[in-house]
Structure 1
């Protein structure tokens, strides 16, 4: 399949379902929302290893379908998540292309966004319009859908990033009463421009699958602590290295360096003078600030991990370290760690103070000295308390409840009465 040619597996045999009648209350017989969930073209859903946004989409989509909603996924062809249909512009994830020069990568997001818009128009013409589109594609998702004007279905765009990125866009964007926003934390939205805040319906914290069994007790865990996620300057892996060397704790680094998933692929690129990934800023930073300390013993880089390997690393670690240097908007890895009963040591940036209950589920540090000192106090933290907090705050059902409230508010603002599925009303927005 050539790039840019939409690949659709949407259900074309589904009989036409009329739009809800404006101004009428939803009936008890209506089954649920028909929505397009757009994850973008960068990684498969669920991803293999790194991919916080895609993990969130996988978790939310699964829970919404369990509740009776019909979900078509905008993604890449290699995604494996069960859905009610799929629209793709690319057969595989395009994340490695982000290491290419801008002129070579600029059209990827736009190609995907246009395929999603085409599917929206196609479904409307077939008499099976989407009740709403929930897009997670940065900038291009809301921009392209807003350009459809009155023909656009109601659109909710989840913000997964620090809003200083592309601030000019969000400051100028007008959703024309069709496109609205959701944040992943209150601290994230508070940093956004006024125009964005006016069009934001609320915030829904991230969620992760909750393990069925109890967490591993502290005395049965391995000795290492863990950094999980992209290894780059903003994530602060070098701070974790220095802190662990000072505290005498072995450190495992799990995540990609730029477009490279492991040591072998990075070494191959560095051996090729023409490889574009050599000049990736994350690669240059890692080579200068982290690689000299990676000795395979006190500091190990295990590359990107996924599935059972990631679950095992999290479950056995003494703690997850998140020494970020940026206002973290969502903190997926923090939620994953706490769900595994693994406490978190974090810097006091962005949403992290709201996710970590200082002294109970981890420690929140004001600076590197406090971060290092916290590593000596890990035995004060109870894995069972961490797991209980995650079940209460970060379970998939909690996130789905939040988005159902925002969907209802979105449809109210766009003058469409929200459908209900049997036995359970879509709750009204209270925020």
Structure 2
């Protein structure tokens, strides 16, 4: 199709990411399929990105994920610096038909402020919609900015105003993988950045009780190497040491790591990730939040690896209890589930992952692009008196009358 889309991946991680990177992995999976379908893609990203696109916007030379949880007065300029370059590009390149945005809050806020100077925008909602309630419960895209959810369970929890502006639900796909000649091992794996919401402390306690070795794979506050994390904290890196994920790791996860029954191997990618995942006996996802997309679960199922997790967010829609894994709310139940995991047929897991194909995700997004473009409206304008910021139909207050 003849369509040019500005894909705004944001300033946090390269596309594709090296190791962890949920949103960036989704973008890396989607863009090639869009281009196969004839969509021209301009990718707004950070310097090290290697994903093939038709054109690039690279406002920042280095990824800024390590700053994402910094105090607001230290981090707020990062997303806005990125968006400043996106705005400049849009003003200089009127041939962009649509923006597909992935930058929470700042993306739609800035593009909405551009009014008719910005193309219609579709934002994919990758996060728990309990976040940013003050913004998303009141935001009005006036038909020019719409949204896509990544699961029905996510959309069901959205504020009413956001649900009304959501054009559809597009499940997240994962790219095809290379099957390696690896025997199934004994270990469980948690493949996620280490943070309280992901429940790595719960996973460690569960596996210790169940007698199953556990490998934790994922970064802590953007740091992929355990030795580097320990060294930087020991050397007095106060910014890193004060990061909430670092505090969670040292307070709740590190005491459970013995490098035998529980190991943290840092961030993994490529063949190293494939070997850990394809040789796993099970994946653990003891989420402490309502995860909306959970691509890691689909990755595991596609490789025939069953999943044990908590019944929150999208997990009940991805894991069929007793068929592709087990779900339990409490740790006692999770222990029993881990001990019962060998009753799950790997082939049933592979079959369950079949619908989450990249070309299907691209097809559904193209449908939403067309739907948005067909219905996009210009934002309403209110007439303003010359020399005043007051709309003409707004009366003066009594105090203002007395001061005239």
TM over 0.5: yes
**Partner in structure 2 of residue 83 of structure 1:** 53
> Which of 271, 277, 301 is 1:314 aligned to?
277
Distance 1:415 1:165 in 2: 27
Q: 1:161 aligns with which of 117, 122, 127?
A: 127
Query: Where does structure 1 lack aligned partners over 5 or more consecutive residues?
Result: 1-30, 417-431
Could you say which residue in structure 2 is the equivalent of 1:207? 173
- What secondary structure does 2:49 align onto? coil
Which structure 2 residue ranges, 5 or more long, are not aligned? 379-404
What is aligned with 1:41? 11
Alignment-derived partner of residue 200 in structure 2: 237
Contact 1:100 1:277 in 2 (8 A): no
1:280, distance to aligned residue in structure 2 (A): 0.9
Contact 2:218 2:267 in 1 (8 A): yes
Confirm or deny that 1:149 pairs with 2:115. Answer: yes
Alignment partners' CA distance in 1, 2:263 and 2:129:
33
How far 1:200 sits from its partner (Å)? Answer: 0.5
Query: 1:94 maps to which residue?
Result: 64
- For residue 104 of structure 2, give the secondary structure of its aligned residue in structure 1: coil
- State the SS of the aligned residue for 2:353: helix
**Aligned counterpart in structure 2 of residue 355 of structure 1, from 300, 318, 325:** 318
Q: Deviations over 1:411-430 (max 9, x none)?
A: 111179xxxxxxxxxxxxxx
Secondary structure of the structure 1 residue equivalent to 2:372: helix
Per the alignment, residue 423 of structure 1 pairs with none
Instruction: Measure how far apart 1:212 and its partner are.
Output: 5.1
1:171 is matched with: 137
Kept after mapping to 1: 8 A contact 2:136/2:159: yes
Moved over 3 A (4+): none
1:200/1:181 CA distance change after superposition, 3 Å: same
Measured in 2, the distance between the counterparts of 1:187 and 1:225 equals 27
Partner of 2:35: 65
For 2:58 and 2:178, locate their aligned partners in 1 and report how far apart those are by CA, in whole Å.
Answer: 33
Is 1:99–1:259's contact at 8 Å kept on the other side of the alignment?
Answer: no
Hey, what does 2:232 align to over in structure 1?
Answer: 269
Matches within 5 A, 1:26-425: 31-124=1-94, 129-211=95-177, 213=179, 220-391=183-354, 393-414=355-376
What number of residue pairs does the alignment pair up? 378
- Note if contact 2:46-2:63 (Cα within 8 Å) is conserved in structure 1: yes
Give, in angstroms, the shift of residue 361 of structure 1: 1.4
Alpha-carbon shift at residue 288 of structure 1 (Å): 1.4
Is contact 1:222–1:316 with CA below 8 Å preserved after alignment?
yes
Question: Normalising by structure 2, what TM-score?
Answer: 0.91
Go from structure 1 to structure 2 and tell me whether the alpha carbon gap of 1:172 and 1:54 turns closer, same or farther (over 3 Å shift). same
- Displacement after TM superposition at 1:169 (Å): 0.4
Deviation, 1:366, is 2.6
Two-structure CA RMSD over aligned residues (Å): 1.5
Check conservation: 2:7, 2:43, Cα contact below 8 A: yes
Q: Is the 8 A contact 1:149 1:176 kept in 2?
A: no
- Evaluate the alpha carbon distance shift between residue 204 and residue 395 of structure 1 in structure 2; reply closer, same or farther with a 3 A threshold: same
Query: For residues 314 and 231 of structure 2, what CA distance do their matches in structure 1 show?
Result: 37
Summarize deviations over 1:35-76 as a string: whole Å, max 9, x none. 011100000000000101000000000111111111110100
Structure 2 CA distance for aligned equivalents of residues 290 and 111 of structure 1: 35
Structure-1 separation of matches of 2:152 and 2:69: 31
CA drift of 1:99 comes to 4.8
Bigger relative contact order (CA 8 A; separation at least 6): 1
The verdict on how the C-alpha distance between 1:87 and 1:387 changes in structure 2, with shifts beyond 3 A counting, is same
In 1, Cα distance between equivalents of 2:8 and 2:238: 31
